[in-house]
Chains A and B, each alone.
Chain A
Amino acid sequence: MTPTISVTQLGRTYKDHAALADVTLDIAPNAITGLLGRNGAGKSTLMRIIAAQEFASSGTVRVLGEDPMENDRILRRITFVREDQIFPDFKVRHVIRAASWFHPNWSEELAQTLLADFELPPNRPMKKLSRGMRSAVGIVIGLAARAEVTLLDEPYAGLDAVARQIFYDRLLADYVEHPRTVLLSTHLIDEVADLLEHVVMIDHGRILIDAPADTVRGQAATIGGPADAVERFVAGRPILHRRTMASVSSVVVGGGLLDQDYRQARDLHLTVQPLSLQELIVHTSETTTEARKSA
């Protein structure tokens, strides 16, 4: 199965730092992949390069089999919603109308539905919209385009939690009806965790995790209880983090837990709290930072 997006040893350096370093990544077709990472990790840079809006310093990008840079044929099949999109001095309906001309799979019906969902006034100038509403316009375009390759870079800037949920619901509903390759970057991991089929984590310009969501989820758990019982349980397992207070300790173990492990923990009167996707990402980032500091 040819990946929809194929990035090989991609690098992007600016005068004083490397935004991306040696990024090699394949994004599978017709799946929702999450691009996770901290602010400044390189998510936006990576997506901008994939969308051919930014130039790579080294390495290659292939989207739908070709280099997207200055490639009208491929660019037509991509839609990129970025969080800091600058809109012209148009009214909302002008922006939507212009977008409809350039996307072959455009659905006007969906666009109108979404405009109503987000309560966007069609005749208001873009300049007069709040940040959240501007983001909503971007989302309307990104979803109504039904582009084969849909790149969403933290498209919800300024959107309140209710609007964000509308976005997730509409994304999922339309994705189910019209499958496409979706790459969604976010730092609100808990909110989208269930939507993701595949997870990519980027930190300081490098890929740390690239795995199916199910594999990543439940990979680690926090074992808590009396210190000696905890130690007995975690013996022989990869220990990711350890915290002790008096005779009580809390240890994060990796490697995943099976049914019998849960039973064993219960026998030892220990609490088992699996790490959520967000906690796992945070943890991975922290350990990498520590490793870098001590290196």
Chain B
Amino acid sequence: MNTYLKVARYHLVNRVQYTLLPLGWLAFAFAVCVVIFTIVDPSTKNGHVGALASIFFIFLALGVQSVVQLLPFGFALGLSRRTYYLGTVLLVTGLSVTYGLLITIMQEIERATGGWGGHLSFFRVPYILNGAWYLTWLTAFMGLLFFFLLGMWCGLIYRRWNLIGVFGFAATVITVALAGALSITWTHTWSGFDHFFRALSATGLTGMIAALALVLLTGGAGTMRRVTV
């Protein structure tokens, strides 16, 4: 069996973490929403809940765990950093495809049942997860991948530079964003910025997330190269 597959298998040894936990939480959150919606009068047309966001944050946590908890023994198994990184990325790609598909299917069912008979919009998120099934799948996949890679990079930064490093990273990101905002203000291009985003379709946004995910992928790989346990 190919080594990268073995790495993916290694992650999945403790099935609970990557399968039962996210699914369980999703099921729980969903059940809670359904119950609330049967209690509360669903006269409000807009039944959107932000609960789906939790799955993305779960993937963020899984990304962190893949480094903090699983990497040290990965070294003991004789895995090079490159192999471990790529094997983990392979795993999360598979997971993101699977969970994305799940979200897509549930979304279709939700649409078909009119919001589960109560106008609940659990799996439909306005603007980004509300379109054709293949777009939903793509966006969900990209989003999950993005958050996992972010978690992974944070985990790697933590391994190399501890908590100070993580705070430094967060501070850097915020500073860059701030600098971007300032430069837009000074060049009086806010209207252009605003216009660009209004015109951006869901697909476009997905493309931007993909680009950011690529940044995370390369950044993580760079940090991985000198990580020790």
Complex: A54 Cα to B79 Cα, angstroms: 13
Q: Which residue of B lies closest to A93 (CB)?
A: B13
Complex: A82 Cα to B76 Cα, angstroms: 8
Interface residues of B in 179-229 (CB under 8 A from A): 226, 228-229
Residue contact B80 to A53, C-beta cutoff 8 Å: no
- Residue in B14, B70, B78 whose CB lies within 8 Å of A102: B78
Chain B neighbourhood of A85, CB < 8 A: 72-73, 76
* Size of interface on B: residues with Cβ below 8 Å to A: 24
Residue contact B79 to A88, C-beta cutoff 8 Å: no
Do A76 and B69 form a contact, CB below 8 Å, given A54-B228, A101-B9?
no
A93 to chain B, nearest CB (A): 10
Residue contact A89 to B17, C-beta cutoff 8 Å: yes
Residue contact A101 to B73, C-beta cutoff 8 Å: no
Chain B neighbourhood of A103, CB < 8 A: 78
Chain A neighbourhood of B172, CB < 8 A: none
In the complex, whether B54 has a CB less than 8 A from a CB of chain A is no
Do A76 and B78 form a contact, CB below 8 Å, given A53-B229, A86-B229, A97-B13?
yes
Complex: A46 Cα to B1 Cα, angstroms: 32
Chain A neighbourhood of B81, CB < 8 A: 70
Complex: A173 Cα to B86 Cα, angstroms: 38
Residue contact A95 to B10, C-beta cutoff 8 Å: no
In the complex, whether A16 has a CB less than 8 A from a CB of chain B is no
- Residue in B13, B76, B226 whose CB lies within 8 Å of A55: B226
Chain A neighbourhood of B78, CB < 8 A: 72, 75-76, 78-80, 102-103
Q: Which residue of B lies closest to A103 (CB)?
A: B78
Residue contact A55 to B80, C-beta cutoff 8 Å: no
Chain B neighbourhood of A75, CB < 8 A: 78-80
Complex: A141 Cα to B82 Cα, angstroms: 23
Do A101 and B10 form a contact, CB below 8 Å, given A85-B73, A86-B229, A141-B76?
yes
CB pairs A–B below 8 angstroms (22 shown) = A48-B228, A53-B229, A55-B228, A70-B80, A71-B80, A72-B79, A75-B78, A76-B78, A80-B76, A85-B73, A85-B76, A86-B73, A87-B73, A88-B13, A89-B14, A89-B69, A95-B73, A98-B13, A98-B73, A101-B77, A102-B6, A102-B79
Extra pairs beyond A94-B14, A98-B10, A98-B77 (18, CB < 8 Å): A48-B228, A52-B80, A55-B226, A55-B228, A70-B81, A79-B76, A80-B76, A85-B72, A87-B72, A88-B73, A89-B17, A91-B14, A98-B13, A99-B76, A101-B1, A101-B9, A102-B77, A141-B76
